[in-house]
Amino acid sequence: MTARRRKRVAVLISGRGSNMAALMEAGKRPDCPYEIVAVISNRPDAKGLETAQAASIATAVVDHKAFDSRAAFEEVLHETLLSFGAELVACAGFMRIMTAGFVQRWEGRMLNIHPSLLPLFRGLHTHRRALEAGVRVHGATVHFVTAELDGGPIIIQGAVPVLPDDDEDALAARVLRVEHRIYPAALWQVAAGACRLKGGRAIMNGWPFDEEARLIAPVANIPLS
Protein backbone atom coordinates (compact mmCIF):
# COMPACT_ATOMS: atom_id res chain seq x y z
CA MET A 1 0.00 0.00 0.00
CA THR A 2 1.38 3.42 -0.87
CA ALA A 3 1.43 5.98 1.90
CA ARG A 4 -0.95 8.88 1.54
CA ARG A 5 0.78 12.01 0.31
CA ARG A 6 1.34 14.46 3.10
CA LYS A 7 -0.14 17.94 2.88
CA ARG A 8 2.43 20.68 2.36
CA VAL A 9 2.19 23.27 5.13
CA ALA A 10 3.79 26.71 5.31
CA VAL A 11 3.99 28.34 8.73
CA LEU A 12 3.75 32.12 9.10
CA ILE A 13 5.53 33.62 12.08
CA SER A 14 6.58 37.01 13.44
CA GLY A 15 8.64 36.04 16.48
CA ARG A 16 9.68 33.26 18.81
CA GLY A 17 8.11 30.39 16.89
CA SER A 18 7.36 27.99 19.72
CA ASN A 19 4.07 26.95 18.13
CA MET A 20 5.89 26.52 14.84
CA ALA A 21 8.32 24.21 16.65
CA ALA A 22 5.42 22.19 18.06
CA LEU A 23 3.97 21.82 14.56
CA MET A 24 7.38 20.74 13.26
CA GLU A 25 7.77 18.19 16.03
CA ALA A 26 4.47 16.46 15.23
CA GLY A 27 5.29 16.73 11.53
CA LYS A 28 8.28 14.42 12.06
CA ARG A 29 6.03 11.49 12.86
CA PRO A 30 5.80 9.04 9.98
CA ASP A 31 2.02 8.86 10.39
CA CYS A 32 1.60 12.64 10.34
CA PRO A 33 -0.64 13.76 7.45
CA TYR A 34 1.28 17.00 6.97
CA GLU A 35 4.85 18.18 6.49
CA ILE A 36 6.19 21.63 7.21
CA VAL A 37 7.80 22.73 3.95
CA ALA A 38 8.51 26.37 4.75
CA VAL A 39 8.54 28.99 7.47
CA ILE A 40 7.87 32.55 6.39
CA SER A 41 8.31 35.58 8.61
CA ASN A 42 7.31 39.19 8.12
CA ARG A 43 10.17 40.15 10.42
CA PRO A 44 13.79 39.44 9.47
CA ASP A 45 14.77 39.15 13.16
CA ALA A 46 12.15 36.54 14.11
CA LYS A 47 13.79 34.00 16.40
CA GLY A 48 11.73 31.19 14.89
CA LEU A 49 13.62 31.52 11.59
CA GLU A 50 16.77 30.21 13.30
CA THR A 51 14.86 27.30 14.80
CA ALA A 52 13.48 26.38 11.38
CA GLN A 53 16.87 26.68 9.71
CA ALA A 54 18.45 24.48 12.39
CA ALA A 55 15.84 21.86 11.47
CA SER A 56 16.70 22.25 7.77
CA ILE A 57 13.34 23.73 6.89
CA ALA A 58 13.24 26.33 4.13
CA THR A 59 12.69 29.88 5.34
CA ALA A 60 11.78 33.17 3.72
CA VAL A 61 11.29 36.73 4.91
CA VAL A 62 8.61 38.96 3.43
CA ASP A 63 9.21 42.16 5.35
CA HIS A 64 5.98 44.14 5.53
CA LYS A 65 8.00 47.32 6.02
CA ALA A 66 9.31 47.01 2.48
CA PHE A 67 5.83 47.53 1.00
CA ASP A 68 3.66 50.61 0.53
CA SER A 69 0.40 48.82 1.18
CA ARG A 70 -1.00 45.77 2.89
CA ALA A 71 -2.19 44.47 -0.48
CA ALA A 72 1.30 44.74 -2.01
CA PHE A 73 2.79 42.88 0.98
CA GLU A 74 0.16 40.18 0.72
CA GLU A 75 0.70 39.75 -3.02
CA VAL A 76 4.33 38.81 -2.41
CA LEU A 77 3.40 36.69 0.59
CA HIS A 78 0.92 34.81 -1.59
CA GLU A 79 3.52 34.29 -4.33
CA THR A 80 5.99 33.06 -1.73
CA LEU A 81 3.48 30.57 -0.36
CA LEU A 82 2.83 29.29 -3.87
CA SER A 83 6.55 29.05 -4.60
CA PHE A 84 6.84 26.53 -1.76
CA GLY A 85 3.84 24.59 -3.05
CA ALA A 86 1.95 25.29 0.17
CA GLU A 87 -1.44 23.63 0.42
CA LEU A 88 -2.18 24.72 3.97
CA VAL A 89 -1.03 27.79 5.90
CA ALA A 90 -0.57 27.79 9.66
CA CYS A 91 -0.32 31.23 11.28
CA ALA A 92 1.71 30.82 14.44
CA GLY A 93 2.20 34.12 16.19
CA PHE A 94 1.94 35.94 12.85
CA MET A 95 1.12 39.46 13.95
CA ARG A 96 -0.27 40.99 10.76
CA ILE A 97 -3.89 41.74 10.06
CA MET A 98 -4.87 40.28 6.71
CA THR A 99 -7.18 41.71 4.07
CA ALA A 100 -10.37 39.93 3.10
CA GLY A 101 -8.93 39.36 -0.37
CA PHE A 102 -5.89 37.49 0.92
CA VAL A 103 -7.92 35.48 3.40
CA GLN A 104 -10.33 34.45 0.67
CA ARG A 105 -7.53 33.02 -1.42
CA TRP A 106 -6.72 30.62 1.43
CA GLU A 107 -10.24 30.05 2.67
CA GLY A 108 -10.55 26.76 4.50
CA ARG A 109 -6.80 26.24 4.12
CA MET A 110 -5.45 28.76 6.62
CA LEU A 111 -5.42 28.21 10.39
CA ASN A 112 -4.51 30.48 13.28
CA ILE A 113 -3.88 30.02 16.97
CA HIS A 114 -5.10 32.66 19.37
CA PRO A 115 -4.23 32.79 23.08
CA SER A 116 -7.75 32.95 24.50
CA LEU A 117 -10.98 31.00 24.52
CA LEU A 118 -12.58 32.80 21.59
CA PRO A 119 -14.84 34.66 21.20
CA LEU A 120 -13.55 36.09 24.46
CA PHE A 121 -10.55 38.41 24.25
CA ARG A 122 -9.95 38.89 20.56
CA GLY A 123 -6.92 40.99 19.71
CA LEU A 124 -3.92 41.68 21.92
CA HIS A 125 -2.99 41.32 25.63
CA THR A 126 -5.33 38.41 26.12
CA HIS A 127 -3.77 37.17 29.38
CA ARG A 128 -3.83 40.59 31.01
CA ARG A 129 -7.44 41.03 29.99
CA ALA A 130 -8.38 37.58 31.28
CA LEU A 131 -6.86 38.45 34.66
CA GLU A 132 -8.62 41.80 34.71
CA ALA A 133 -11.92 40.17 33.85
CA GLY A 134 -11.48 37.67 36.69
CA VAL A 135 -12.29 34.61 34.58
CA ARG A 136 -11.56 31.27 36.25
CA VAL A 137 -10.93 29.46 32.97
CA HIS A 138 -8.75 30.70 30.14
CA GLY A 139 -7.03 29.02 27.22
CA ALA A 140 -6.31 28.99 23.53
CA THR A 141 -8.19 28.45 20.30
CA VAL A 142 -7.23 27.11 16.89
CA HIS A 143 -9.57 28.39 14.20
CA PHE A 144 -9.89 28.79 10.47
CA VAL A 145 -8.90 32.27 9.38
CA THR A 146 -11.67 34.45 7.99
CA ALA A 147 -11.82 38.15 7.25
CA GLU A 148 -13.12 38.81 10.75
CA LEU A 149 -10.15 39.25 13.08
CA ASP A 150 -9.91 36.28 15.48
CA GLY A 151 -13.46 35.45 14.43
CA GLY A 152 -13.13 32.37 12.24
CA PRO A 153 -14.76 28.99 12.90
CA ILE A 154 -13.28 27.20 15.88
CA ILE A 155 -11.50 23.89 15.34
CA ILE A 156 -10.11 23.04 18.79
CA GLN A 157 -9.90 24.82 22.11
CA GLY A 158 -7.71 24.05 25.08
CA ALA A 159 -8.68 25.28 28.53
CA VAL A 160 -6.53 25.97 31.59
CA PRO A 161 -7.46 27.20 35.06
CA VAL A 162 -6.64 30.72 36.19
CA LEU A 163 -5.02 30.40 39.61
CA PRO A 164 -5.24 32.93 42.42
CA ASP A 165 -1.57 33.93 42.32
CA ASP A 166 -1.29 34.14 38.56
CA ASP A 167 0.36 37.08 36.92
CA GLU A 168 0.41 37.63 33.18
CA ASP A 169 3.59 35.59 32.67
CA ALA A 170 2.47 32.60 34.69
CA LEU A 171 -0.86 32.48 32.90
CA ALA A 172 0.76 32.94 29.49
CA ALA A 173 3.13 30.03 30.17
CA ARG A 174 0.25 27.74 31.17
CA VAL A 175 -1.72 28.68 28.06
CA LEU A 176 1.33 28.25 25.84
CA ARG A 177 1.70 24.63 26.97
CA VAL A 178 -1.84 23.94 25.84
CA GLU A 179 -1.25 25.83 22.58
CA HIS A 180 1.57 23.44 21.77
CA ARG A 181 -0.84 20.54 22.15
CA ILE A 182 -3.92 21.78 20.36
CA TYR A 183 -2.24 23.33 17.33
CA PRO A 184 -0.65 20.12 16.01
CA ALA A 185 -3.90 18.31 16.83
CA ALA A 186 -5.96 20.77 14.78
CA LEU A 187 -3.57 20.89 11.85
CA TRP A 188 -3.42 17.10 11.89
CA GLN A 189 -7.21 16.89 11.57
CA VAL A 190 -7.38 19.44 8.76
CA ALA A 191 -4.48 17.88 6.85
CA ALA A 192 -6.05 14.44 7.20
CA GLY A 193 -9.30 15.78 5.77
CA ALA A 194 -11.08 15.01 9.03
CA CYS A 195 -11.92 18.65 9.62
CA ARG A 196 -12.98 21.20 7.05
CA LEU A 197 -14.66 24.56 6.75
CA LYS A 198 -18.25 24.30 5.62
CA GLY A 199 -21.10 26.75 5.92
CA GLY A 200 -19.11 28.99 8.23
CA ARG A 201 -18.32 26.19 10.66
CA ALA A 202 -15.47 23.79 11.24
CA ILE A 203 -16.99 20.41 10.52
CA MET A 204 -15.35 17.39 12.09
CA ASN A 205 -15.79 14.64 9.54
CA GLY A 206 -15.05 11.28 10.97
CA TRP A 207 -13.67 12.86 14.12
CA PRO A 208 -12.83 9.64 15.84
CA PHE A 209 -13.64 10.85 19.31
CA ASP A 210 -16.66 12.18 21.07
CA GLU A 211 -17.46 15.87 20.99
CA GLU A 212 -15.81 16.44 24.34
CA ALA A 213 -12.46 15.62 22.80
CA ARG A 214 -12.67 18.82 20.80
CA LEU A 215 -12.27 20.80 23.97
CA ILE A 216 -8.86 19.73 24.99
CA ALA A 217 -5.87 17.67 24.00
CA PRO A 218 -4.54 15.10 24.74
CA VAL A 219 -6.45 13.30 22.08
CA ALA A 220 -5.86 9.66 21.21
CA ASN A 221 -3.79 9.03 18.07
CA ILE A 222 -2.32 12.48 18.15
CA PRO A 223 1.27 12.91 19.31
CA LEU A 224 0.67 15.29 22.13
CA SER A 225 1.80 13.66 25.33
User: Per the residue annotation, which of 64, 114, 125, 180 is the catalytic one?
Assistant: 114
Give the binding range for ligand GAR (CB under 6 A) out of 30-38, 65-73, 77-85, 109-117: 109-117
CA–CA dist 225, 145 (Å, integer): 27
Give the binding range for ligand GAR (CB under 6 A) out of 51-59, 107-115, 157-165, 197-205: 107-115
Residue facing ligand GAR at closest CB distance: 93
Does residue number 74 form part of the binding site for ligand GAR (CB under 6 A)?
no
Q: Pick from 38, 39, 92, 224 the residue near ligand GAR by CB under 6 A.
A: 92
The site that binds ligand GAR (CB under 6 A) totals a number of residues, namely 15
Does residue number 113 form part of the binding site for ligand GAR (CB under 6 A)?
yes
Cβ closest to ligand GAR, residue 79 vs residue 132: 132
Q: Check if 114 is active-site.
A: yes
CA–CA dist 122, 201 (Å, integer): 18
Q: Which positions from 147 to 176 touch ligand GAR by CB under 6 A, shown as an x/- string?
A: -----------------------------x
CA–CA dist 32, 184 (Å, integer): 10
Shortest reach from residue 84's CB to ligand GAR, in Å: 20
By CB under 6 A, what part of segment 4-23 binds ligand GAR?
13, 15-19
Long-range contacts made by residues 211-218, C-beta under 8 angstroms, separation at least 24? Answer: 214/155, 214/156, 214/157, 215/156, 215/157, 215/158, 215/159, 216/157, 216/158, 216/159, 216/178, 216/182, 217/156, 217/158, 217/178, 217/181, 217/182, 217/185, 218/181
Q: Which positions from 123 to 142 touch ligand GAR by CB under 6 A, shown as an x/- string?
A: -----------------x--
Interacting residues with ligand GAR (CB under 6 A) = 13, 15-19, 48, 92-93, 113-115, 140, 176, 179
